[in-house]
Amino acid sequence: MNKNKRSTKIGWAISILISLMLMLDGVMKIIQPTEVIEATTQLGYRENSILSIGIILIIITILYLFPRTSFLGAILLTGFLGGAVATHFRIDNPLFSHQLFPVYLGIFIWLGVALRHPTIRQIFINPKNI
């Protein structure tokens, strides 16, 4: 197997794992069990915003999974996760486990998209050649 095919497969594996996590989060926000409602309201969000957050997360994650829209999805997920960082920072949650967890996800989101698309990978490896 050549290097590009291996990179693409690894990128898809990373993207699917991250997407499953994000989709589960979105679905749980739609189902709204008591734990999700309590956790979201403790973060300072109103209960009536949980459904909207879940729907937005699912739509953006779907965009991330489709090859034609994966770059847009990665950008939108980065923004979404930036809001999560700000939320955890605002309520002074622990740094490495809460405030930076969305940053870790964002790194894997971009790693997955870069490994799936040689053009995007080239931007990260050698931006002068684009």
Q: What is the pLDDT of residues 72-119, one digit of tens each?
A: 999 999 999 999 888 888 887 766 667 788 999 999 999 999 999 888
Q: pLDDT band at 125, cuts 50/70/90?
A: confident
Q: What is the DSSP letter of 68?
A: G
In order, the DSSP letters of 93-108 are: --IIIIISHHHHHHHH
Q: pLDDT band at 3, cuts 50/70/90?
A: confident
Question: How many CB atoms neighbour CB 41 within 10 A?
Answer: 13
What residues have CB less than 8 Å from 23, skipping those under 6 apart? 57, 58, 61
Rg of the chain, C-alpha, whole Å: 16
Structure tokens at 111: 């790693």
**pTM of the entire predicted model:** 0.88
Give the C-alpha separation, 18 to 66, whole Å: 14
Per-residue pLDDT tens digits for 29-77: 999 999 999 999 988 899 999 999 999 999 999 999 999 999 999 999 9
